[in-house]
Chain A
């Protein structure tokens, strides 16, 4: 052992929030109150965190109370996204609990007059030899948790954790099956007013006339708020405010607005805009031979909507010059930053508190509606205001996932082996999240009389990346060049959607790999394995292929089989997918078999649930979804013109977890997106002999692809 003191780096979010009391507190009555900075976005994180606490402290799950995250009290853990919840929050919490446990054991040893290592803990009761006993709760006066973590206490080894690796039942499910109030939509504050915002069909249109009279005369009317092109209305009840909104809508005149691209030639449009270009990766083989041939292909995906099943909702209340906001945002501190900028307030004057929303798959309308609520609440004389978006706003005005074009070119030798691989992509950046710059990223900020400029989305840097996420292939080629072109204009508003650029990049890479294998007449699994050194990648691919039982399967007419593979962000979860499809014009995915490696698994059922959910959502994206628009407005603003996968269309999904208990845990939420698209496209080719390179794989796009070939 060396005696030199090293600066300790605390793990995960503990580094920025080192005080143990920021994370947990023992409450009188035998409870443990835990304050995570990460929030529930429908991924079951509250249960995983409960499991971690229960394991490290040795208390029963029922004792753990999770506090809603709030900027007034919780550690700042940034945004809950990118499948990082477990890494950041879970690890921090695990270490914080381990340190707290050690402090209590020391105090108990003192009190009982025994050595700390002679003590055990059973549901919070600390027991020593001869039945000497005390408990966390008896010792709270002796132990202060207002101390920073030391980084010197190791959490329990994996093998002695009782709950990790088992599936604790989700803590939120009982409320949800009995229909108890749980979501932000169910929050009702005393004296609450209801608000709605009137938005134009064309983005950034100007309000030239508004006849307020009818709305003002409508029963329950409370106030109209106008600030430049931002218009909202307040009323006593939801029904009253809906009526006022309808009256205003029919009496508003808008002009101008930003012209949208031509949907029919979207990929050409992407390729002809001003861009910032970057070489993402470049490798040269020392002795690459000269190419005998070249293959190049273009793939694309359209804009995609989040399509949360609940419309975005927020509450806000002003008091003493400050504002309290309730939100289902993924990042309470980031939202606070933007709200403070808009209202020119010091951040402490803005309190942002989290309340659960419906499933969230990225930067949706949650933050926008929070600003809407805060703006409307200024006219409410201190009463709280609840604002809920319409379904139309949710599908047409929340940020979308960016459309992308990807071109891949391979130089091949005489034998058809890849000498050089080139991947080039065109896309808007994939994030315009709040709290990242001096310009607020919230929709209403650009609508005010003194407007903030509209944010053009950017890309987080590699290795995670944005539009270039997963643009670097997992395969080993002698030479490769990866180039991204980020658009500098943004007529269609986009920001982070589950897996960012990985969906389109993996779809393109995996389709292209399949095309190369087919060209050579080689089995697509064998072809991939021949280019794959990473043993964990090989293991998931082999597991998925074996479980899908490809070789033994009898090929029926009109059915097809395809595989695809990726390691999310090139550093996260491995996921291989085998898809089985049938159909000629309308493709039905019969079955998806997924093999995943997410490192250590804390809650296996939770991982399967997330992978399965991701796979089904990705099937929906792949087969059905595209944001529709004409030159002036988004036209896909309801579930009829933005259809998603229905119960009768959902494939059977099997998930196999390839165990790696000693590898660090990584998130599962986004790993399936890209591989599912690739596997389905490859299965469609297997079934029909048609290569559909432009998503979604609808009847129209299949016919277009047939005409092309």
Chain B
């Protein structure tokens, strides 16, 4: 059952041994210790586990390991670090854009994908891009503001 895979995660090659049908989320969290991607529903319906697969946000709870092979996987840990934060991470801090924050990793991932192909999104664009991410604490508007702020601050003046 278990096979050996080479995965490219946050820019580095990682070898893992697992069943090819295993959900990517479990491999990230349990095998590789990348717990930034969160488990929320296990069914692709909440967005807490989103990662970028070649730049597209996908639910890693619902993505089998084999589907990630040969692709570039980016998790929230790969977006930035405290020393070198992604503009979205900085904007979420500046806007204090959360309550409990459990949904935030997935929301940052969806927003990062949006900004990658639309540097100047409207508020409606942002809401649409985040529509597959649920937030139960009601922090939506702050998050939308933070995404717009990140877009503003990264655009060349």
Contacts of B19 in A (CB 8 A): 239
A74 on the B face (CB < 8 A): no
Range for the number of chain B residues in contact with chain A? 35 or more
Central interface residue in A177, A307, A610, by most chain B CB within 10 Å: A177
Within 8 Å CB of A239, what residues of B? 18-19, 22-23, 26, 30
Q: Is the CB of B136 within 8 A of A617?
A: yes
Q: Give the chain B neighbours of A616 by CB distance below 8 A.
A: 138-141
Taken residue by residue from 607 to 620, chain A's Cβ proximity to chain B (1 for < 8 Å, 0 otherwise) reads as: 00110111111001
What residue in chain A is nearest B40 (Cβ atoms)? A309
Known: A308-B136, A609-B142. A177 touches B131 (CB 8 A): no
Chain A residues with CB below 8 A from B144, complex form: 647
Residue B8 lies at the interface, judged by CB distance under 8 Å to chain A: no
Output the nearest chain B residue to A358 by Cβ-Cβ distance.
Answer: B102
Contacts A358-B102, A610-B99, A617-B136 given; does A177 touch B93 at CB 8 Å: yes
Specify which of B1, B41, B127 is in contact with A639 (CB 8 Å cutoff).
B41
The reply to whether A359 and B102 form a contact with Cβ atoms under 8 Å apart is: yes
Task: Determine the chain B residues whose CB is within 8 A of the CB of A648 once the complex forms.
Answer: 124, 127-128, 131
* Contact call B43/A638, Cβ cutoff below 8 A: yes
Chain A 73-103 interface mask (CB, 8 Å, partner B; 1/0): 0000000000000000000000000000000
Q: Are B38 and A183 interface neighbours, CB within 8 A?
A: yes
Q: Are B139 and A609 in contact (CB under 8 A)?
A: yes
With contacts A307-B136, A311-B39 taken as known, whether A238 is within 8 angstroms of B30 at the C-beta atoms is: yes
**A-contact 0/1 string along B1-43, CB 8 Å cutoff:** 1000000000000000011001100100110011111111111
Task: Say whether B134 contacts A359, CB under 8 Å.
Answer: no
Contact call A178/B134, Cβ cutoff below 8 A: no
- Interface size of A by Cβ–Cβ distance < 8 Å? 60
Given contacts A219-B1, A311-B40, A612-B142, contact A43 B46 (CB under 8 A): no
Our pick among B35, B46, B80, B139 for the contact of A186 (Cβ within 8 Å) is B35
Across chains A and B, the number of contacting residue pairs, with CB separation under 8 Å, is 168
B43 contacts across to A, CB distance below 8 A: 391, 638-639
Q: Could you tell me the dominant secondary structure of chain B's interface residues? A: loop
Of residues A358, A647, A653, which shows the largest number of chain B Cβ atoms within 10 Å of its Cβ? A647
A182: chain B residues within 8 A (beta carbon): 101
Q: A310-B48, A638-B41, A639-B46 are in contact. Are A238 and B26 (CB under 8 A)?
A: yes
Query: Which chain A positions have C-beta within 8 A of B151?
Result: none
Tell me how far the C-beta of A47 lies from the nearest C-beta in chain B, rounded to whole angstroms: 9
Give the complex CA separation of A45 and B151 in angstroms: 30
For chain B residues 113-157, which have a beta carbon within 8 Å of chain A?
124, 126-128, 130-131, 133-142, 144
A413 contacts chain B at the CB level, 8 A cutoff? no
Taking A179-B35, A638-B45 as contacts, is the C-beta distance between A310 and B40 under 8 angstroms? yes
| Complex Cα–Cα for A298 and B19 (A) | 57
**Does A650 touch B at the CB level, under 8 Å?**
yes
- Which residues of chain A are near B37, meaning CB under 8 Å? 179
The answer to whether B36 and A359 have CB atoms under 8 Å apart is no
Partner pick for B139 among A178, A219, A613, A639, CB 8 A cutoff: A613
Tell me the bound Cα distance from A638 to B40 in angstroms.
11
Contact between B35 and A178, CB atoms less than 8 A apart: no
Q: Cβ of B63 < 8 Å from any Cβ of A?
A: no
B96–A42 touching, CB < 8 Å: no
Contacts of A653 in B (CB 8 A): 141
Contact at A177–B92, with CB atoms within 8 Å? Answer: yes
Q: A239-B30, A309-B46, A310-B48 are in contact. Are A174 and B102 (CB under 8 A)?
A: no
Whether, in the assembled complex, A172 has its beta carbon less than 8 Å from a beta carbon of chain B, the answer is yes
A173 on the interface (CB 8 Å rule)?
yes
A309-B135 in contact given A42-B99, A238-B30, A239-B30 (Cβ < 8 Å)? yes
Known: A309-B135, A616-B140, A647-B128. 11 other contacts (CB 8 A): A172-B101, A174-B82, A177-B85, A179-B75, A185-B35, A358-B103, A617-B137, A617-B138, A620-B138, A647-B130, A648-B131
CB-defined A-B contacts under 8 Å, sample of 20: A170-B96, A173-B92, A176-B98, A176-B104, A185-B39, A238-B29, A309-B102, A309-B136, A311-B39, A358-B136, A391-B40, A391-B41, A610-B99, A612-B139, A613-B137, A613-B138, A616-B138, A617-B137, A638-B45, A647-B130
Residues of A that sit less than 8 Å from B by CB:
41-44, 167, 169-170, 172-174, 176-183, 185-186, 188, 219, 237-239, 307-311, 356-361, 388, 390-391, 605, 609-610, 612-617, 620, 638-640, 644-648, 650, 652-653
Task: State the B residues within 8 Å of A (CB).
Answer: 1, 18-19, 22-23, 26, 29-30, 33-43, 45-46, 48, 75-77, 80-82, 85, 89, 92-93, 96, 98-105, 108, 124, 126-128, 130-131, 133-142, 144
Pairs A-B, 6 closest by C-beta atoms:
A179-B36, A42-B100, A616-B138, A176-B101, A359-B100, A613-B138
